[in-house]
Amino acid sequence: MSRQSWLFGGLFLAALIAWQWFRPAGPGPLGEQDYQPDFVARGLASIQYNRLGLPYRGLEADYAEYYDPLSMTLMEKPVILLYSPDGQPQWRLQGDEGIINTGDNAVMVGNVVGRGLLPDALVETLTTEYLELDFINNQLRSNRDVQLSSPHYQAQGQGLLGILDQQTVELLHETRATYFNP
């Protein structure tokens, strides 16, 4: 081989090594990928209806980002409205931040306030820093401090289990309550 062929071969090899050395890193493992939202909404308002045409869930948020690969929506200042089976507003839950995993649950964090909207609601106001909504089992759960209030009592405790279909709420640990005589 000629000297010129060796020179071009060496330059090609050096370029190949430099390209491999300085090329940008590809996407990392699934947990380290930088996801971009599939859509962004400001002033989001949505109502979902059942097969009878009655509302069963409403959602409002100042700001929301939806990530299709994760089937997840991140929200700022979310408000979730839950309706009774006959289409009457049952609960209004709001917080500073929230996440909805499409179809099965939602998590609200920071200054979470729930208001019972039915006239005969046993709980008028629920406050906590963390609340999970299980849409499949129609449950509310929390593992943090919770305060419940109504015109007839005030209760505090740690942890909560609420069953929406039965309209019951149970404080799980360290419960203290004060009842008022009318």
In this predicted model, what pLDDT tens digit does every residue of 95-109 receive, in sequence order?
Answer: 999 999 987 899 999
**CA-CA distance, 67 to 174, in Å (whole number)?**
38
- Residue pair 133/157 in contact (Cβ under 8 Å)? The answer is no
pLDDT attached to residue 24: 64
CA 179 vs CA 16, 130, 148, 153, 156: distances in Å? 79, 25, 12, 4, 12
pLDDT attached to residue 120: 82
**CA-CA distance, 59 to 146, in Å (whole number)?**
23
Report the CATH fold assignment for 29-179: lipopolysaccharide transport protein A fold (2.60.450)
Q: pTM of this prediction?
A: 0.76
* More confident site: 18 or 118: 118
- Residue pair 164/139 in contact (Cβ under 8 Å)? The answer is yes
Residue 168 has pLDDT above 90, yes or no: no
pLDDT tens string 71-129: 899 999 999 999 988 889 999 999 999 999 987 899 999 999 999 898 888 889 999 99
Q: What are the residue ranges spanned by the domains of the chain?
A: 29-179
| pLDDT band at residue 9 using 50, 70 and 90 as cut-offs | confident
* Beta strand ranges found along the chain (DSSP E): 39-49, 55-67, 72-76, 79-83, 89-94, 97-101, 105-116, 125-134, 139-149, 153-163, 168-179
